[in-house]
A = this chain, B = another copy of it.
């Protein structure tokens, strides 16, 4: 555990105090929600371990834990689409963080879209068919990632 993090001693400390005392799950991870600081749009949801959270705080650039690669992931190291953290928030029980970022190049999704969230689930329908809300790719994933394995797992 980094010296940045305090032990969790009481509900009052965690919810109403100024100690950063994150609760990592059984795998040592905490979800990280990343929005565009300009548009407010949700770009991605990733995971951080203690090291990724420490690095993000230290450098001001988003670091995650890649569950598919099982490795520390400096976002943009391959694609150049680095996320500069403009504001970093923590939630009430400190088991989640929120990054408001400025994205170099404007894209965050490995499929090539601006956001990972480009399809809508219709409400009230029985057999859901997704609706595309974004059809324009910002970059060509083949050019950016080449033959790197796709992180999506079935």
Looking across the interface, which residue of chain B has its beta carbon closest to that of A93? B152
In the complex, whether A106 has a CB less than 8 A from a CB of chain B is no
In the complex, whether A77 has a CB less than 8 A from a CB of chain B is no
Q: Is the CB of B14 within 8 A of A130?
A: no
Please, which residues of chain B bring their CB within 8 A of the CB of A28? none
Asked if A14 meets B121 with Cβ closer than 8 Å, knowing A31-B45, A92-B111, the reply is no
Seen from chain A, the residues whose Cβ lies within 8 Å of a Cβ on chain B are 3-5, 8-11, 14-20, 23, 31, 33, 35, 40-42, 44-45, 57-58, 60, 85, 87-93, 96-98, 109-111, 113, 116-133, 150-154
Q: Is the CB of B8 within 8 A of A154?
A: yes
Q: Is the CB of B33 within 8 A of A120?
A: no
Q: Is the CB of B18 within 8 A of A129?
A: yes
Please, which residues of chain B bring their CB within 8 A of the CB of A121? 20, 57, 88-90, 97
Asked if A33 meets B45 with Cβ closer than 8 Å, knowing A89-B117, A121-B90, the reply is yes
CA A20 – CA B128 in complex, angstroms? 6
* Residue from B31, B58, B85, B130 within 8 A of A18 (CB atoms): B130
Q: Is the CB of A11 within 8 A of B88?
A: no
CA A124 – CA B17 in complex, angstroms? 20
Q: Is the CB of A20 within 8 A of B129?
A: yes
